A and B are shown apart, each in its own frame.
Chain A
């Protein structure tokens, strides 16, 4: 097994606020690692560092063999390997679903139009939204928009997918369809690093769980971790979620 993402003693501060205080963990190829923790524990920040949306102050993250603190890092190559989906979908409102999905393949990977459209259809099939290919984002429900956002990431054929609380902006009846797409991806062997507050979902999908607390990796283990917490902090956290 080889690590696709490797956090090595990562430190990060926003001014005087220390958000990450030396976190280390690895995501292996084909593995689903779920990050859990209280609000403000630094989960989103950790995720954003992988795609270098935030700059770390110490330690290193190695993504698909690339060190993100390497001054000669090819940032765009890194970002082609990493797919990231946020809570707020971030679809481009002025573009159709097809244009949203084919934008990066066409401009970044220089794929021709017909191929890009065929690939768009394929990823849309994966998320069950083929018929929406010509719609604009505003014509879709939140759950559908989020699935298109996932499809848009998939179209770049990333080596690892990052998900940051992708269902927390959705109505409860819409979360299921999005979670199912993610579970299908996991079953298909996609390497994933995922932040969620849906404990049942975490337990279902995770190969490993990392519990973050106050900017540190507090506990780490297989999916049974939630059933058998070792620290009082995780016990309290799990307790508050039931």
Chain B
């Protein structure tokens, strides 16, 4: 028996949206921490370090997030490690964002001219001082627009978690659709909900881009 799409369904969807947000935040925060470490190591002059990082990034970027999720969700239990769907989705999305954020940030670091690194070295700054006082402030400017842009990708990719049973807004949407059989309305509402998460990020990204191109400071 089908029920009509109603306000109650929107409320249920909003409940799912919370998990979408939680997954996004987990991916961004932990992916960001790992990505930052990857970026720093990626500009290392020690060959094997930067090569190892490059291999890791290539592996992650070379496979769909969904497959990474399957490997963790269905693969790890075979090795005797039980993982819940939320954990599996979280790990996969963290791996995914760490690889991309690591790449974005490494490129940002490298786009700070070599002469700036040398200038800091010549003033006898330590590694941490050089990074914190000279390189990062300049790299952050370059990195902000693509980083915020990538956050949109993270939010959208969390919808894949529904496939392994995370009760995010997409998963709830499928249930609502099954109950109401009004796919157009249901998925339109879901699209609007994702849009409400992503659009502010896009606006923010564009605003940063403009701010930094006007004053280069």
Which chain A residues have a beta carbon within 8 Å of chain B's beta carbons? 51, 53, 76-77, 79-80, 82, 84, 86, 88, 90-94, 103-104, 107-108, 136, 138, 152, 156
Question: Across the two chains, which residue of chain A brings its CB closest to B128?
Answer: A107
Least CB distance from B214 to A in Å reads 12
The answer to whether B217 and A93 touch across the interface, beta carbons within 8 angstroms, is yes
Instruction: Establish whether residues B129 and A136, one from each chain, have CB atoms under 8 Å apart when the complex forms.
Output: no
> With an 8 A cutoff between CB atoms, is B27 at the interface?
no
The reply to whether A108 and B125 contact each other, CB–CB distance below 8 Å, is yes
Bound-state CA distance A76–B126 (Å) is 8
Task: Tell me the B98-145 residues at the A interface (CB within 8 Å).
Answer: 115-116, 118-126, 129, 133-134, 137-138, 141
**Could you list 5 A-B pairs, sorted by A, with CB under 8 Å?**
A104-B125, A108-B125, A138-B216, A152-B123, A156-B124
- A88 to B120, alpha carbons, bound, how many Å? 14
Assuming the contacts A94-B217, A108-B125, A138-B216, asked whether A53 and B118 have C-beta atoms less than 8 A apart, the reply is: yes
Are A103 and B133 within 8 A (Cβ)?
Answer: yes
Q: Is the CB of A79 within 8 A of B121?
A: yes
A84 touches B217 (CB 8 A): no
Interface of B is mostly: helix
Q: How far is the CA of A94 from the CA of B119 in the complex (A)?
A: 14
* B52 CB, min distance to chain A CBs, angstroms: 24
A138 & B217 in contact (Cβ 8 Å cutoff):
yes
B134 to chain A, nearest CB (A): 6
CB distance from A90 to the nearest CB of B (A): 4
Question: Once the chains bind, are A92 and B122 in contact (CB under 8 Å)?
Answer: no
The reply to whether A108 and B216 form a contact with Cβ atoms under 8 Å apart is no
Assembled-state Cα–Cα distance A53/B118 (Å): 8
The answer, among B118, B125, B138, for a CB contact under 8 Å with A107, is B125
* A86 adjacent to B217 (CB under 8 Å): no
Are B138 and A93 in contact (CB-based, < 8 A)?
A: yes
Q: Are B123 and A79 in contact (CB under 8 A)?
A: yes
Are B122's CB and A136's CB within 8 A?
no
Do residues B124 and A79 form an inter-chain contact, with CB atoms below 8 A? Answer: yes
Contact A103 B123 (CB under 8 A): yes
A81's closest neighbor in chain B, by CB? B124
Closest partner residue, chain A, to B122 (CB atom) = A84
A92 touches B124 (CB 8 A): no
Residues of B within 8 A of A84 (CB): 122
Min CB distance, A171 to chain B, in Å? 20
Q: Which residues of B contact A77 (CB under 8 A)?
A: 124
Q: Are B121 and A136 in contact (CB under 8 A)?
A: no
Cα of A76 to Cα of B138 in the assembled complex, Å: 23
Query: Nearest Cβ in chain B — how far from A130, in angstroms?
Result: 21
The answer to whether B138 and A94 touch across the interface, beta carbons within 8 angstroms, is yes
Q: Is the beta-carbon distance between B138 and A108 smaller than 8 angstroms?
A: no
- Which of B80-97 touch A at CB < 8 Å? none
Q: Smallest CB-CB separation from B118: which chain A residue?
A: A53
Q: How far is the CA of A233 from the CA of B215 in the complex (A)?
A: 49
- Across the interface, do A92 and B119 meet the contact criterion of CB distance under 8 Å? yes
Neighbour of A94 across the interface among B115, B121, B137, CB < 8 A:
B137
Task: Kindly report which residue of chain A lies nearest to residue B123, judged by CB atoms.
Answer: A104
The listed residue with most B CB atoms (<10 A of its CB), out of A79, A84, A86, A94, is A94
Provide the residues of chain B in CB contact with A108, threshold 8 Å: 123-125, 129
A76's nearest neighbour on chain B, judged by CB, is B124
Distance A88 CA – B119 CA, assembled complex (angstroms)? 10
Say whether, besides A79-B121, A103-B133, A138-B217, A92 and B126 are in contact (CB < 8 Å): no
In the complex, what residues of B have CB within 8 A of residue A136's CB? 217
* Among candidates A53, A91, A93, A107, residue contacting B122 with C-beta atoms closer than 8 Å: A53
Alpha-carbon separation in the docked complex, A152 to B216 (Å): 21
Residue of B nearest to A139 (CB): B217
